[in-house]
């Protein structure tokens, strides 16, 4: 090539490389920014949020005609934390749905999710799970959805059950009304055969309206319930999704949920309080008659107190499980969204690195002949060393994102794996140790194993338990501060508890008391600066719960850590006819 053509081509090629690098780093539309200017900036105007005017306790107009209920309080809380201005308008559900379709309002604060609706609207992560029930008069026969064929079924116009009966051609005669209350009144008065309505609002309205002759006979559906916006309105959807995530992480969402929905959910069970009051009254009468039963009465009180404590702990476990389910749904969606831009980076960055490597001889020749020049706004003498490092660092960072996404997917994965496999804990542990042998050799020269003899077989999923053992061994390796510190791995059978035990003890730096109870919390890690995501032990704890086992940690700073994994021995017989649980000696 003639010299003057080379001189003209060099700056042009340099500009192309700089533009390509900027393109690779540019955020993908739909992730953290508006996908089109048509959505506009909503920060300078009021967002109109619609809902049902008579759907307690979720949303309704109070005695003063003002919006109230769980959805209303949640919307106002999101507006507060996001710094946006909202106006809540409640009306007939069918009308409000049509107003969202036409763009007269910006969002609905409570809509049940379905695949058909997802083609027309975009949904934020759910803020509640709504159970749909079939209601009938007390004397009428109990049926499921299939039993509705040929029957007259009352539904709210535009409601999810209205959509379901039409989409699935249940062959029932559909009777539409404006509200859940209209449906329940009609059913209670003897009109038509059944009503398909949301369970909590129906129970609330039945109590308020005194409709004592109707009862729920089936709960065929549990549906995700949350904010809906027009299709493609990603900016507004992101604001509601982010605000909801903030409320969940701060505990404010749970407080709103408990305030409006908690009392109704708990009232669906056994009325322990009333039973206790009746028992106390009876005990008082007996005390007046027979003073000799004082001791018995005190024993009874202790038993009631113990039972009350058990119920309280059980309620806390249910609340925690609901939080983890919501978090799992949120995490699953986040992981899916992150995959798209990270995949684009993983695809383009190696190409850019190769392109720069091909262009570098030409750039070096130009530098040698003509001296220093500008590339990407900086001197080439500096950029020739920086660009390869920048590309390598970006590629490493993107690969780390990919690993984090993998951990997020493991954390959000539902426990639907096959747990019916017969397995030997020793075999699972030996396989796991073999897989991480290289990491063990790099961490310590003192690794000991003591495998218990004749361990009873377990029921579960060998691959999932193997994943737990690998996580625990790698954590032990990472806790060591020198090659002289050791790891001791032991398996044994605990006859008293009927459990097979795996114990992993390391001589590492240990864990401070403030952190020991947080080890299995999602995203908690003491190694974030070393690349830890805080999901390994969360995933492991979830797997252990699936197998009805336990995971316990005992540690003190400077004295190492002992992790104890206990898995229950099944009493089911093996194919050769012997029990999986050995007889007690």
The beta strand positions in 418-498, using DSSP E, are: 421-423, 447-450, 458-460, 487-494
Domain residue limits at 318: 1-28+270-414
- Indicate if 562 and 434 belong to the same structural domain: yes
- Indicate if 298 and 340 belong to the same structural domain: yes
pLDDT recorded at residue 414: 47
- Indicate if 425 and 564 belong to the same structural domain: yes
- Indicate if 434 and 389 belong to the same structural domain: no
pLDDT recorded at residue 526: 58
- Residue 526 forms part of a structural domain: yes
- Indicate if 471 and 540 belong to the same structural domain: yes
- Indicate if 334 and 374 belong to the same structural domain: yes
- Give per-10-residue mean pLDDT for the chain (585 aa): 42 45 38 39 78 93 93 95 94 93 94 92 93 92 89 94 90 94 94 94 91 90 93 92 92 92 61 53 68 74 80 62 55 67 81 86 90 86 87 83 66 59 90 85 92 91 87 89 92 92 91 74 56 63 87 87 90 46 38
Strands 561-568 and 550-555, how do they pair?
Answer: antiparallel
Report the candidate in 339, 333, 327 with the shortest Cα–Cα distance to residue 406: 339
Residue finishing a domain among 414, 447, 462: 414
CATH number assigned to the domain comprising residue 538: 3.30.565.10
- Indicate if 429 and 560 belong to the same structural domain: yes
What is the domain count for the chain? 2
Report the candidate in 292, 354, 329 with the shortest Cα–Cα distance to residue 127: 329
Digit-coded pLDDT (tens) for 263-296: 766 555 444 445 455 656 666 666 677 766 777 7
CA torsion sign for 10, 16, 19, 20 is: negative
- Name the pTM for this structure: 0.42
- Residue 558 forms part of a structural domain: yes
Q: In residues, how long is the chain?
A: 585
Digit-coded pLDDT (tens) for 409-442: 655 554 456 778 888 999 999 988 887 888 899 9
- Indicate if 407 and 444 belong to the same structural domain: no
- Indicate if 384 and 401 belong to the same structural domain: yes
- Indicate if 476 and 338 belong to the same structural domain: no
pLDDT recorded at residue 30: 34
φ and ψ at residue 465, rounded to 5 degrees: -65, -35
Report the candidate in 27, 44, 202, 218 with the shortest Cα–Cα distance to residue 141: 218
- Indicate if 473 and 513 belong to the same structural domain: yes
- Indicate if 513 and 385 belong to the same structural domain: no
- Residue 348 forms part of a structural domain: yes
- Residue 581 forms part of a structural domain: no
pLDDT recorded at residue 462: 86
pLDDT recorded at residue 273: 47
């Amino acid at each position: 090539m003639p010299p003057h053509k080379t001189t003209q081509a060099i700056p042009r090629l340099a500009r192309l490389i700089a533009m390509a690098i900027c393109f690779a780093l540019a955020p993908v539309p739909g992730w953290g920014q508006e996908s089109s200017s048509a959505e506009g900036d909503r920060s300078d105007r009021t967002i109109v949020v619609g809902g049902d005017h008579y759907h307690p306790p979720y949303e309704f107009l109070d005695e003063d005609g003002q919006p109230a209920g769980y959805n209303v309080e949640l919307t106002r809380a999101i507006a507060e934390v996001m710094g946006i201005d909202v106006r809540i308008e409640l009306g007939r559900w069918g009308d409000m749905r049509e107003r969202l379709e036409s763009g007269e309002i910006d969002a609905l604060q409570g809509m049940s999710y379905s695949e058909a609706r997802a083609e027309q609207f975009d949904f934020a992560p759910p803020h509640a799970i709504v159970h749909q029930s079939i209601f009938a008069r007390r004397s009428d026969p109990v049926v499921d959805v299939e039993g509705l064929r040929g029957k007259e079924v009352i539904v709210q116009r535009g409601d999810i059950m209205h959509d379901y009966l039409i989409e699935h051609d249940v062959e029932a005669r559909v009777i539409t009304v404006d509200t859940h209350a209209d449906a329940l009144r009609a059913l209670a008065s003897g009109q038509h055969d059944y009503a398909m309505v949301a369970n909590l609002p129906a129970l609330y309205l039945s109590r308020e309206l005194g409709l004592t002759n109707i009862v729920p006979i089936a709960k065929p559906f549990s549906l995700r319930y949350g904010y809906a916006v027009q299709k493609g309105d990603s900016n507004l959807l992101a604001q509601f999704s982010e605000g909801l995530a903030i409320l969940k992480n701060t505990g404010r969402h749970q407080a709103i949920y408990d305030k409006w929905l908690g009392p109704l959910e708990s009232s669906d069970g056994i009325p322990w309080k009333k039973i206790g009051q009746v028992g106390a009254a009876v005990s008082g009468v007996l005390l007046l008659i027979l003073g000799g039963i004082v001791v018995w009465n005190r024993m009874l009180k202790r038993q009631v107190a113990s039972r009350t404590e058990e119920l309280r702990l059980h309620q806390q476990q249910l609340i925690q499980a609901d939080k983890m389910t919501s978090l799992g749904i949120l995490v699953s969606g986040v992981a899916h969204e992150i995959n798209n831009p990270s995949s684009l980076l993983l695809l383009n960055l190696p190409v850019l690195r190769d392109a720069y490597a091909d262009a570098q001889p030409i750039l070096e020749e130009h530098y040698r002949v003509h001296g220093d020049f500008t590339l990407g706004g900086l001197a080439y003498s500096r950029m020739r060393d920086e660009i390869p490092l920048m590309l390598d660092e970006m590629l490493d960072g993107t690969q780390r994102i990919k690993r984090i996404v993998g951990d997020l997917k493991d954390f959000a994965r539902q426990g639907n794996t096959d747990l019916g496999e017969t397995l030997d804990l020793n075999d699972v542990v030996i396989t796991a140790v073999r897989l991480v042998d290289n990491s063990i050799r790099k961490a310590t020269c003192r690794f000991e194993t003591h495998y218990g003899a004749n361990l009873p077989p377990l029921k579960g999923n060998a691959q999932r338990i193997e994943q737990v053992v690998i996580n625990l061994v790698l954590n032990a390796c990472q806790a060591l501060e020198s090659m002289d510190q050791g790891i001791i791995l032991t398996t044994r059978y605990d006859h008293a508890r009927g459990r097979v035990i795996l114990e992993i003890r390391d001589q590492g730096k240990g864990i401070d008391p403030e952190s020991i109870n947080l080890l299995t919390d999602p995203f908690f890690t003491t190694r974030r600066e070393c690349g830890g995501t805080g999901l390994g032990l969360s995933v492991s704890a979830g797997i252990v719960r699936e197998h009805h086992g336990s995971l316990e940690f005992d540690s003190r700073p400077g004295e190492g850590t002992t992790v104890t994994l206990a898995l229950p021995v099944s009493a089911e017989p093996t194919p050769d006819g012997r029990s999986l649980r050995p007889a007690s000696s």
